Amino acid sequence: MTETHCDIRIQVVTDYLDNQSEPESDRYVFAYTITISNSGNVAARLISRHWVITDANGKVQEVNGDGVVGEQPHLNPGEEFRYSSGAVLETPVGAMQGIYRMEADGGFGFDAPIAPFTLAVPGLLN
């Protein structure tokens, strides 16, 4: 019998949206594109998300919700789901991290952690 294992991998690409930002008003807009890959051998559905967004002043925003971008994608082994979203910070640098709550086919739930990533205006950090 093959052992069942869940292996959800998450990759993030970020972008600063200069045309939507207003630095003089402490408004910095960032986009991020996330690719969720199922590298395990059991299908799973993304049920909910929990984000922790921290700006350079230490201000923390927590975001919870069902699914992502209005969807609860179901990923079979070998499949991936990509989506884009955004965040608005009061500082030119910040960080995000979080968890996707997943449910594998068969009904057991597990968390897929999203490693911390940086949001930064280009050229600000080396």
CATH number of 8-114: 2.60.40.1470
Q: Quick one: pLDDT at residue 126? A: 58
pLDDT of residue 57: 97
- How confident is the model at residue 1, as a pLDDT? 42
How high is the pLDDT of residue 123? 87
User: What's the rounded Cα separation, in Å, for the pair 57 and 11?
Assistant: 26
Of the CA atoms within 13 Å of residue 85, those in its CB half-sphere come to 15
Residue 5: its pLDDT value, please?
73
pLDDT tens over the chain, length 126 residues: 455 678 999 999 999 999 999 999 999 999 999 999 999 999 999 999 999 999 999 999 999 999 999 999 999 999 999 999 999 999 999 999 999 999 999 889 999 999 999 999 998 775
3-state DSSP helix/strand/coil percent for the chain, to nearest 5?
5, 65, 35
- DSSP single-letter state for residue 23: G
The domain ranges of the chain are 8-114
Distance, in Å, from the CA atom of 51 to the CA atom of 25, rounded to the nearest integer, reads 24
Number of other residues whose CB lies within 10 A of the CB of residue 48 = 16
Q: Which two tokens stand for residue 52?
A: 């922790």
Half-sphere exposure (CA, 13 Å, Cβ side) for 115? 8
